[in-house]
Amino acid sequence: MQLESVGEVIAVRRLYLDGEEPRTTQIVIEAGKPVKFPDSDDFYCPFRISGAGEEKIFYGGGIDAFQAIQEAFRIIGMYLYIRINPPLGYRLRWEGNLQGDLGFPRFQMGDPDQNSQL
């Protein structure tokens, strides 16, 4: 399923580059409200990652809205820790943790349940 919008935004997190003043490089994650898939009782939670030359909309899916949110967080973590942070020299930070934890689940290498959206 290809999404063009995250719909109603329910949460936003801004990441910045450590040591960059003013903070001109920002990665913004916006999570949309979970909604039902068309023609299904299952849910998906859309989210957008934008900044540093990126703008992509993804989603996490699940049997209910909570599982869809959990999956969205897992995919966000994979994308940040594998695709975005390494080329930026692992300098991404957020106000909640100045040591480099981005507040999303960390990807474990060899995870057999990798998401092909990345």
pLDDT tens, residue by residue, 10-22: 999 999 999 998 8
Residue 108 lies inside a defined structural domain of this protein: no
pLDDT tens, residue by residue, 41-93: 999 999 999 997 889 999 999 999 999 999 999 999 999 999 999 999 999 99
Is the preceding peptide bond at 22 cis, omega within 30 degrees of 0? Answer: yes
Q: How far apart are CA 69 and CA 61, in angstroms?
A: 8
Residue 51 lies inside a defined structural domain of this protein: yes
Residue span of the structural domain in which 60 resides: 9-93
How many domains would you assign to the chain? 1
Please spell the DSSP secondary structure of 76-99, one letter per residue.
HHHIIIIIITGGGTT-EEBTTBTT
Alpha helices in the chain (DSSP H): 65-78
pTM for the model: 0.86
